[in-house]
Amino acid sequence: MEKRKLGNSGLEVSALGLGCMGLSFGYGPATETKDAIALIRSAFENGVTFFDTAECYGPFTNEELLGEALAPFRDQVVIATKFGFQDGDSKKGLDSNPARIRAVAEASLKRLKTDCIDLFYQHRVDPNVPIEEVAGTVKELITEGKVKYFGLSEAGPETLRKAHATQPVAALQSEYSMFFREPEKEIIPTLEELGIGFVPFSPLGKGFLTGAINTSTQFDPTDFRNIVPRFSEENRKANQALVELLKIIATEKERTPAQIALAWLLAQKPWIAPIPGTTKLHRLQENIDGANVFLSANELHKIEIALAAIKISGERYPVQLQARVGK
């Protein structure tokens, strides 16, 4: 798989990473440990070198899983993890106090079985702690050799600029896909200006762009999508137009809708590295093959015209979670 550099940081990753959250958290019951390890190692064997986790996925179990799975080839991969929630629990409030950041770093290092975190993200912007203080704390951890690169997740342009002035930000992780194009307005231009890489999560629209979800789909009671307005039965029906478009393009290219969605993202900027997640080996291979799909300028132009005619229904977060998206 091709490698990409995240902005001007020099951090090199595989064009597609693996978002590991769903193996432990968020989308129903956790995957059996042996199956999850097999999937992570299969990703590596197929060229993926960029793995994303966080202390709150589980909590804690996802980092432990990655630590075990990646141990045999730790020096050949980039591991990203995150801090920012009270006690590492995303159901509690935000906490990016310097002492907490340091505590998370030490605990994550142990769980990940490593002596250095490659990319350390603030998971959500904490309005109670100045971003300069957060960036300064990570800067100290970088000086101490415990962290290599600093990242932000779901931060806005204002926060990005302030953080970047204190400690260069290697990457911003936020949602971006054909299903959610808001970053094109302000985020992507800001990243381009500052030389910061972009790591889109949910590049397949939380599974919607695969074509496997329809109005009759029943999610597990613990599945996060049950509370997402965009996944209400009514909105799933309204948003099928996007899936139908993807199916038409995929048929023409002899590919799958998911592969077209990933290829489209990769074509947007050379410093974008999406992190699709999955619990299934066949989906993992499908996603990885999506990195080999080329869309010509003409094809991209046609897709753009078609997308412009489609209105997406429903918000991507319920109100209480949207409040955590930074400025």
pLDDT (0 to 100) of residue 147:
98
Structure tokens given for 150: 């600093």
2-23 per-position pLDDT tens digit: 999 999 999 999 999 999 999 9
Mean pLDDT of 139-157: 98
Do 63 and 55 touch, CB atoms closer than 8 A? yes
Work out the number of other CB atoms within 10 angstroms of the CB of residue 219.
15
Beta pairing partners, 19: 52
Give the 3-state secondary structure of residue 177: strand
Beta pairing partners, 152: 122, 172
Looking at every residue in the chain, the average pLDDT score rounds to 97
Structure tokens given for 90: 């995303």
**What distance in Å separates the CA atoms of residue 120 and residue 34, rounded to the nearest whole number?**
26
Q: Is the pTM of this model over 0.85?
A: yes
Do 296 and 249 touch, CB atoms closer than 8 A? no
pLDDT (0 to 100) of residue 185:
97
260-288 per-position pLDDT tens digit: 999 999 999 999 999 999 999 999 999 99
Q: What are the structural domains of the chain?
A: 3-322 (3.20.20.100)
**What distance in Å separates the CA atoms of residue 117 and residue 113, rounded to the nearest whole number?**
10
Give the 3-state secondary structure of residue 295: coil
Cα→Cα distances 71→37, 54, 76, 114, Å:
11, 17, 10, 8
Q: Which residues does the annotation mark as catalytic? A: 57
Sign of CA dihedral 251, 255, 261, 264: negative
